[in-house]
Amino acid sequence: MTAFRVQDYPLKNYQPRGGGPTKAQSGGLRALLSRSPWTYRLIVLAIIGGIWQAYATAAQLLLVPKFTDTMIGVVTLAINPDTWVAFMISNQALVVGFGISVVFGVLLGLGAARFRSIEGFVDPYLSILMVTPMAALIPILMMALGLDLSSRVVLVIVFAIPVIIVNSRTGVRQVDPNLIEMATSFGATEREIWVKILLPGALPAIMTGIRLGLGRGVTGMVIIELLMVAVGIGNLILRYQGNFSADLLYAVVILVIFEALILVSILRFIERKVAPWASQTVLRD
Amino acid sequence: MIEISGVSKTFPARGKDAPVLALKDVDLRIEDGEFLTILGPSGCGKTTLLRMIAGLAEWDKGEITVNGTPVRGPGPDRAMVFQAFALMPWATVRDNTAFGLELRGVPKAQRRERADELLTLVGLKGFENRLPGQLSGGMQQRVGLARALAVDPEILLMDEPFGALDEQTRRLLQEELLLIWEKTRKTVIFITHSMEEAVLLGDRVALMSPRPGRILNITQVPLPRPRAAAVDQIEGSAEFAKITANLWGQLREMQTIRVHAGEEPAA
Ligand SMILES: Nc1ncnc2c1ncn2[C@@H]1O[C@H](COP(=O)(O)OP(=O)(O)OP(=O)(O)O)[C@@H](O)[C@H]1O
Ligand SMILES: [Mg+2]
């Protein structure tokens, strides 16, 4: 048996990547693309729109509207007061449910990080909430709470709160222990360590949790209206589906996506304002 | 004056790991205004000992007193400088420097004034509003030093403060620390892995040995002070070479892990 030699195992696909002297920016497409992410985004949108348009035109299916028709639908709905009323109704559940989720989610997460007793109380339920397909809870909620606002609020909470709790708890846990030791050595009390070290240290993760929770809350808000309580946006979707108004149906979905995008951008903006030192925390649930 | 007498500490067994006798019967006396360096191989209990003096860790047996008062926790007479800097990434250099003052309730204007004064001392004038993430390692540790000095402690506890820095930065900071110390004459306990650093900075070098951690001996450093202006001269002197060589000889004896001659991997 001959001895093993490292040289017998060369890297197969070794290629220089991104090193060396700065490459001169050629003009044209490359320069255009490097300028702004929006260029990419609009190009992708145009491609998707184009494929969609081509497919819908060729297939001629009743429930696949053309891209152009859908865009016209979006405008039609946006100027129709009924749409706004529907969005208001749906968003009642989101505002109340998401608000409660933020307040209690952050408190429970911080509490779980600090107190074993809260941790022990929260943990099993959190695990259940994380693994349960949430939609399965809807019939149970309906039976328990009826068809009014409260069941929609509870569903939004059930969707939104787990990720907020988990991120808040993890955020506190991952604060650099050196900082806690430093503060202690300068005579900080436990309260001061919370206020001056743990909370600011956990803030980026908490904000990320809130942002992820918002996305889930929107999902919860729409799902319950689709499956059980036909009001607001869910009602619109069901109505246009029943009418075979495919263009409007698609338009509603796009408006919901718009709303979610706007809300998430607002939260991102707040995130950058309150935690500018953490460009991105990559915590997920 | 700091007095450590008969201090022992065993970290209890955890899982499969056997208990660690981290410190055994440590006796040490540090005079006011003295610069003591503690030198020893990794794992001999240097950090453990320093954290005890800082009031951050408990011991099993013995007593530690500062000016006759038993240590029962952190106190305003001691301030620490950390190996990993321990700066708050969300706070400006100025706010980091003023952190100890903030905890004491010093009003904002005075805090700011004192912080700026110390930042000037450590050469960071003009960087007051930066965030730590925008500074190099050497600059970050200057902030760490300014923060400790800001509370005007009697005793500075420094745990390998320059250990994470590159050689050039480290040399600069050694000179500056000497300069500051020669001006302020605080009591300093300075932990290091480097013989040269220990000898260059210290009045005395306490050599620690591992398993169990204890003070093996203490070397007087007869090099003249002030040293800040004469670092190159000192490091070139026969005296300096003799002391460091002697320390290295003892440290080498402590190493249990050695490369076996003749078994080195073939090139
Ligand atoms: N919290 C702890 N639990 C268990 N063992 C510990 C703990 N802290 C330290 N030890 C052990 O005590 C011994 C001394 O540790 P210490 O950190 O004081 O060494 P050190 O001299 O500072 O080492 P280094 O030079 O690497 O910083 C080591 O063997 C370490 O494994
Ligand atoms: Mg150490």
Tens of pLDDT, residue by residue over A216-248, are: 999 888 888 888 777 888 888 888 888 888 888
Per-residue pLDDT at B205: 96
Domains of chain B in start order, with CATH, are: 2-77+184-260 (3.40.50.300)
Per-residue pLDDT at B194: 92
Which pLDDT band, with edges at 50, 70 and 90, does A13 fall under? confident
- pLDDT tens, position by position, A140-162: 877 887 778 888 899 899 899 99
Report the residue from A184, A186, A277 with minimal CB separation from B99.
Answer: A186
> Phi and psi (nearest 5°) for B196?
-60, -45
Q: For chain A, give the mean pLDDT.
A: 85
Q: Average pLDDT, stretch B112-137?
A: 93
Q: Taking 80 as the threshold, does the pLDDT of residue A35 lie above it?
A: no
Q: Average pLDDT, stretch B85-99?
A: 95
Q: Average pLDDT, stretch A2-24?
A: 76
B43 versus A63: the higher-pLDDT residue is: B43
- pLDDT tens, position by position, B239-264: 999 999 999 999 888 876 555 554 55
Q: Average pLDDT, stretch B226-243?
A: 91
Q: Average pLDDT, stretch B53-75?
A: 93
Residue B138 Cβ contacting ligand 1 at under 6 Å: no
Contact B89 A183 (CB under 8 A): no
Extract the tokens encoding A17.
Answer: 């990547």
Task: Kindly state the helix (H) or strand (E) to which residue B205 belongs, with its residue range.
Answer: strand B204-209
Residue type, A70: T
Residue B78 Cβ contacting ligand 1 at under 6 Å: no
Per-residue pLDDT at B89: 94
Ligand 1 pocket: which of B20, B160, B255 to mutate (most atoms <8 Å of CB)? Answer: B20
Which pLDDT band, with edges at 50, 70 and 90, does B145 fall under? very high
Q: Identify all chain B residues contacting A186, using CB atoms and an 8 Å cutoff.
A: 74, 79, 99-100, 103, 151
CA distances from B36 to A76, A121, B32, B244, B262 (A): 80, 50, 10, 15, 41
Name the percent of chain B in helix, strand, coil, to the closest 5. 40, 25, 40
Lowest-pLDDT choice from A97-101, A134-138, A237-241, B30-34: A134-138
Q: Are A154 and A97 in contact (CB under 8 A)?
A: yes
- pLDDT tens, position by position, A249-268: 889 989 988 998 999 999 98
Lowest-pLDDT choice from A36-50, B51-65, B119-133: A36-50
Residue B45 Cβ contacting ligand 1 at under 6 Å: yes
CA-atom Rg of chain A in angstroms: 25
Residue B22 Cβ contacting ligand 1 at under 6 Å: yes
Q: Which residues, 6 or more positions from A250, have their beta carbon under 8 angstroms from its beta carbon?
A: A65, A70, A73
The torsion defined by the Cα of B86, B92, B94 and B97, in degrees rounded to 10, comes to -10
Per-residue pLDDT at A30: 64
| CA–CA gap between residue A183 and residue B87 (Å, rounded) | 10
Per-residue pLDDT at A58: 87
Report the DSSP pairing between strands B20-30 and B2-11: antiparallel
Residue B6 Cβ contacting ligand 1 at under 6 Å: no
- As a whole-number percent, the residues of chain A with pLDDT over 70 amount to 92
Q: Taking 80 as the threshold, does the pLDDT of residue A15 lie above it?
A: no
Q: Does A184 touch chain B (CB under 8 A)?
A: yes
Among all bound ligands, the one having the nearest atom to the CA of B194 is 1
Q: Taking 60 as the threshold, does the pLDDT of residue A284 lie above it?
A: no
Nearest residue in B to A178, CA atom: B86
Contact B82 A178 (CB under 8 A): yes
- CB–CB contacts below 8 A, A to B: 58
| B95-101 own/partner pairs: CB under 8 Å, 24+ apart | B96/B132, B96/B143, B96/B147, B97/B143, B97/B146, B97/B147, B97/B150, B98/B147, B98/B150, B99/A182, B99/A183, B99/A186, B99/A196, B99/B147, B100/A186, B100/A187, B100/B147, B100/B148, B100/B150, B100/B151, B101/B150, B101/B151
Contact B78 A278 (CB under 8 A): no
Q: Does B86 touch chain A (CB under 8 A)?
A: yes
Residue B42 Cβ contacting ligand 1 at under 6 Å: yes
Q: Which residues, 6 or more positions from B59, have their beta carbon under 8 angstroms from its beta carbon?
A: B7, B8, B9, B23, B52
Per-residue pLDDT at A285: 39
Per-residue pLDDT at A98: 96
Q: Identify all chain A residues contacting B74, using CB atoms and an 8 Å cutoff.
A: 184-187
CA of B193 from ligand 2 middle (Å) equals 9
The closest-lying atom of ligand 1 relative to the alpha carbon of residue B213 is 14
* Closest CA relative to residue B142, chosen from B108, B165, B110, B168: B165
CA of A185 from ligand 2 middle (Å) equals 16
Residue B39 Cβ contacting ligand 1 at under 6 Å: no
DSSP letter at B260? P
| CA–CA gap between residue B75 and residue B119 (Å, rounded) | 23
Among all bound ligands, the one having the nearest atom to the CA of B41 is 1
Q: Average pLDDT, stretch B118-124?
A: 93
Find which of B48, B78, B87, B88 to mutate to test the A interface (most A CBs within 10 Å of its CB): B88
A17 versus A116: the higher-pLDDT residue is: A116
Helix (H, G, I), strand (E, B) or coil at B235: helix
Q: Are A93 and A222 in contact (CB under 8 A)?
A: no
Residue B214 Cβ contacting ligand 1 at under 6 Å: no
Q: Identify all chain B residues contacting A187, using CB atoms and an 8 Å cutoff.
A: 74-76, 100, 103-104
Q: Average pLDDT, stretch A60-74?
A: 85
Q: Identify all chain A residues contacting B100, using CB atoms and an 8 Å cutoff.
A: 186-187
Nearest residue in A to B91, CA atom: A277
> Phi and psi (nearest 5°) for B190?
-125, 115
- As a whole-number percent, the residues of chain A with pLDDT over 90 amount to 33
- pLDDT tens, position by position, A110-142: 988 888 788 888 888 888 877 877 777 778 877
Q: Taking 70 as the threshold, does the pLDDT of residue B90 lie above it?
A: yes
* Residue B82, phi-psi category: left (phi > 0), alpha (psi -120 to 50), beta (remainder): beta
CA of A197 from ligand 2 middle (Å) equals 23
Residue B47 Cβ contacting ligand 1 at under 6 Å: yes
DSSP letter at B201? H
Q: Taking 80 as the threshold, does the pLDDT of residue A175 lie above it?
A: yes
Per-residue pLDDT at A24: 65
- As a whole-number percent, the residues of chain B with pLDDT over 90 amount to 80
Find which of A186, A189, A195, A272 to mutate to test the B interface (most B CBs within 10 Å of its CB): A186
Per-residue pLDDT at A131: 80
| CA–CA gap between residue A111 and residue A92 (Å, rounded) | 28
Q: Taking 50 as the threshold, does the pLDDT of residue A280 lie above it?
A: no
Domains of chain A in start order, with CATH, are: 80-242 (1.10.3720.10)
| CA–CA gap between residue A14 and residue B32 (Å, rounded) | 61
Task: Kindly state the helix (H) or strand (E) to which residue B204 belongs, with its residue range.
Answer: strand B204-209
The model's pTM is: 0.83
Extract the tokens encoding B249.
Answer: 């000889």
Quote the ipTM score.
0.90
Contact B90 A176 (CB under 8 A): no
Residue B166: CA atoms inside 13 Å, Cβ hemisphere, count?
5
